Chain A
Amino acid sequence: MSVHPTINLDSLQEIVERHGYNKNKLIAILQDIQAVYHYLPAEALKTLSRLLKIPLIDIISVATFYRAFSLTPKGRHVATVCMGTACHVRGAPKILEEFERQLNIRRGETTEDGEWSLETVACLGCCAIGPVVVVDGDYHAHTSIRKVPTILGKYRK
């Protein structure tokens, strides 16, 4: 089972060209690659190392330093629970636990069927309407433990 597109070296080349083969644009290039695959495939990074003439280890060090990058594939749906301070005092940890129970995975993991990934984020800056959960880019405001199954249900066929 694979829900991810296979690595297309042409599109990779295109991304690097768009950034003028500029080593200083490494973060922006990685962001563009991740936008295509929803993670950073090892093969793509190896090719990138060749194209930009940067040692692979340096690419990996950047890719693992920044939270936004993932070296493992993501599920078809991604649920991100905001763990900001305002969400925290309004019960975000309990919301996260409920997602963990409902999906039967821990934060940072992906379900075996590749349907769901569960992520956390330090703060989404929507503090007034917390606790906030984002699923596939849709913001869900004022979430509660009871709303979690409803939110998941919207994306389950």
Chain B
Amino acid sequence: MKKIKKFKNLEELKKAIDQQEASRKREKKKIIVVSSGTCGQARGSLKVIDALKKAIREEGLKDQVAIRITGCHGFCEAEPNIIIYPDRIFYQKLTPPDVRTIVKETLVEGRVVEKFLHRDPLTRERAWYENEIPFYQKQKRIVLGDNVFVDPTSLLEYLAIGGFRPFIKAVTKMKPDEIIQTVKQSGLRGRGGAGFPTGVKWEATRRAAGNPKYIICNGDEGDPGAYMDRSVLEGNPYRVLEGMMIGALAIGAREGYLYVRDEYPLAVRHVTMAIDHLYQAGLLGDNILGTDFSFDLHIAKGAGAFVCGEETALIASIEGRVGEPRQRPPFPAQKGLWRKPTCINNVETWANVPLIILNGADWFSSIGTSGSKGTKIFSLVGKINNTGLVEVPMGITLREIIYDIGGGIPDGKAFKAVQTGGPSGGCLPASMLDQIIDYESLTAAGSIMGSGGMIVMDEKTCMVDVAKYFLNFLRDESCGKCISCREGTQRMWEIVSAITEGQGKPGDLELLEELALATKEASMCGLGQTAANPVLSTLRYFRDEYEAHIYEKRCPAGVCKSLIRYAVIPEKCTGCEACKRACPTGAIQGTRKDVHLILYDKCIKCGACLEACRFEAIEAQRDEAITIVKEVKP
């Protein structure tokens, strides 16, 4: 690791920021930004970087072109991608040989290579520049936007975008109460799910009796389908740490913990590195830069327990115990870590803090709706064309996110539902697409904001299966402390599983609703209180699908194995034998150029043929056998 210069006082830090900012402005080199977060690396960004370095060396461009390796920019669908500055030419889905072509054509000869440009899935138009891509146009990327400009392993790069100016402002010009007032006035609310006003939490912790006080960053992003915190920690860890430092200053905390999931190895690595750098630079430790502010920061790694996202369970986990939530009050602001006043905020919340301090409360509160200010990052995933992280102003509609930014549903399929808020949230149907997004309206619609997962489902997604999926997750992750949650989620899972297997009976749905209510009312923590949301919201909007499973023994989406069988559509089958080769049990008969046939006694319904067929000639049909059984035994 490169040795980092220690700043002796605030003046030196300020000078360094000025210098870094100025040198970036003077920079004449072209800069190639390579997006290389976990998704990018999984798609081969590291090989692209090697190829890029080699090609630049071979073309003798080393003095004219620099490479910046950054975290994720959010457009995961287009990974691995590069942006060439200053023009912002955006090339996507690259392989090492592509990079050679780009270096030759664009860098040496100054031509744009059309075939690597982004093409809009709806209009089929190519976008030359990053800012022309529809995916980015309706976004407001105040938190994520800087990921493009920062190498997350370099403190100097963070300084070059004005990093630590907010901290300097807070430590020199603002009293703790002023910082808290600013955060309160900004209207910032917790980005982890519940949406509690951040400034109010800070004030309560500051006023609470007891010393020392602690602050915690909750990076236990456990909602399946959500990964914005991972991206922020991977792509701009210094901003989160700076937010925590400002929070510590305001609350009067001397020590803080950053709790991060062990499932995020790159985030752990970048945060660990960033903390080391801050210690080396004199920005953490005793009497930071000659002020009387001292602050130490530790990392606590999670060990794979969803319930630890709940603040009291998370505290138990940091203390080295089993992560079981406890009764509140007392709230962590009164009695938290080691029974001392503790302020816990989510990663995205902390990342917003420096921006609010620098630009003021009015700037922040000018974005959003009356009750929900600022932006929110969502992970737009599932059956959607432009998958990735989107940061949008509060108040945008679901339709704008899914169609304008997300580019709609792939393969011409119809939109069915969008699931928000993870296992505590719900599924919203097409009739809710014009719903605006803020804390209140999502709750009113039967879902929640949650940490920001947004999973899009199309006509081929079975909503009963989705409810079963979440119940299975929850019964697995329930810590078991409250019987209503432990047994409630288990029992609901059993009922919904039976429905998907064709064993549903009249009265099941009413029983589910009763259990859902009991689980909600009688459980202590957020996990249990919201565990019924996936069931209740699917029952509310997709009751007909449940009924089709129960009364007609039919899965309309063709997902539930016990209720379907795969069949070949003779008109579409070309006899290419692709399905026959893919079948693991030899259940497909047929010779080349002849219509194939599936032998039902051998078929295990694995779906390999459906996946292998390029002509959509395999179809999940209603299993007639079950219908016959039903007719014989009503």
Interface size of B by Cβ–Cβ distance < 8 Å?
Answer: 62
Whether B582 contacts A65 by the Cβ 8 Å rule is: no
A145–B227 touching, CB < 8 Å: no
Does B166 sit within 8 A of A, measured CB to CB? Answer: no
Q: Which residues of A contact B227 (CB under 8 A)?
A: 123, 125-127
- For the complex, count residues of A whose C-beta is within 8 A of B: 46
B606 touches A23 (CB 8 A): no
Which of chain A's residues has its CB closest to B305's CB?
A66
Which chain A residue shows the least CB distance to B470?
Answer: A85
> Which of these, A85, A122, A128, contacts B477 with CB under 8 Å?
A122
Choose one: A25, A85, A98, A144; the contact of B224 (CB below 8 Å).
A85
Say yes or no: B469 contacts A145, CB within 8 Å.
no
B262-A68 in contact (CB<8A): yes
Chain B residue numbers with a CB within 8 Å of A86 are: 224-225, 379, 381-382, 387, 455
Question: Contact at A127–B606, with CB atoms within 8 Å?
Answer: no
Complex CA gap A85/B457 in Å reads 10
A89 & B320 in contact (Cβ 8 Å cutoff): no
**B383 close to chain A: CB less than 8 A:** yes
Task: Tell me which residues from 197 to 255 in chain B have a Cβ below 8 Å from any Cβ of chain A.
Answer: 221-227, 230
Cβ of A91 < 8 Å from any Cβ of B? yes
In the bound assembly, the distance between CA atoms of A131 and B606 in angstroms comes to 16
List B contacts of A90 (CB < 8 A): 382-383
Partner of A84, one of B225, B323, B608: B225
Q: What is the interface of chain A, defined by CB distance below 8 A to chain B?
A: 22-28, 30-31, 61-62, 65-69, 83-86, 88-91, 94, 97-98, 101, 121-130, 132, 137, 139-141, 144-146
CB of B114 closer than 8 Å to a CB of A? no
Binary interface profile of B, 288-322, with partner A (CB < 8 Å = 1, else 0)? 00000000000011111110000000000111111
Residues of B within 8 A of A (CB): 38-39, 41-43, 76-77, 79, 221-227, 230, 261-265, 300-306, 317-323, 379, 381-383, 387-389, 419, 422, 453, 455, 457, 461, 466, 469-470, 473, 476-477, 479, 582, 584, 606-608, 611-612
Among residues of A, the one whose C-beta sits closest to the C-beta of B77 is: A128
Distance of B470 from chain A, by nearest CB (Å): 8
Contacts of B461 in A (CB 8 A): 89
Tell whether, in the assembled complex, residue B224 and residue A140 are in contact, meaning their CB atoms are under 8 Å apart: no
* Residues of B with C-beta under 8 A to A130: 381
Contact for A121 among B225, B263, B320, CB less than 8 A: B263
Residues of A contacting B584 with CB < 8 Å? 98, 101
Nearest-neighbor residue (CB-CB) of A125 within chain B: B227
A-B contact count (CB 8 A): 162
B458: nearest chain-A partner, CB-CB = A89
Query: Are B303 and A88 in contact (CB-based, < 8 A)?
Result: no
Asked if B469 contacts A85 (CB within 8 A), the reply is yes
- Bound-state CA distance A62–B324 (Å) is 11
Report, nearest first, the 6 A-B pairs whose CB atoms are least far apart: A128-B76, A67-B304, A139-B42, A125-B227, A66-B303, A123-B224
Contact A128 B320 (CB under 8 A): no
Q: Which residues of A contact B301 (CB under 8 A)?
A: 27-28, 31
Residues of B near A129 (CB, < 8 A) are 39, 42-43, 76, 79, 387
Name the CB-closest residue of A to B264: A125
Provided the pairs A90-B382, A123-B263, A127-B387 are in contact, do residues A62 and B322 lie with their beta carbons within 8 angstroms? Answer: yes
Query: Contact at B320–A25, with CB atoms within 8 Å?
Result: yes
Distance to closest chain B CB from A44 (angstroms):
16
A94 to B608, CA, bound (A): 8
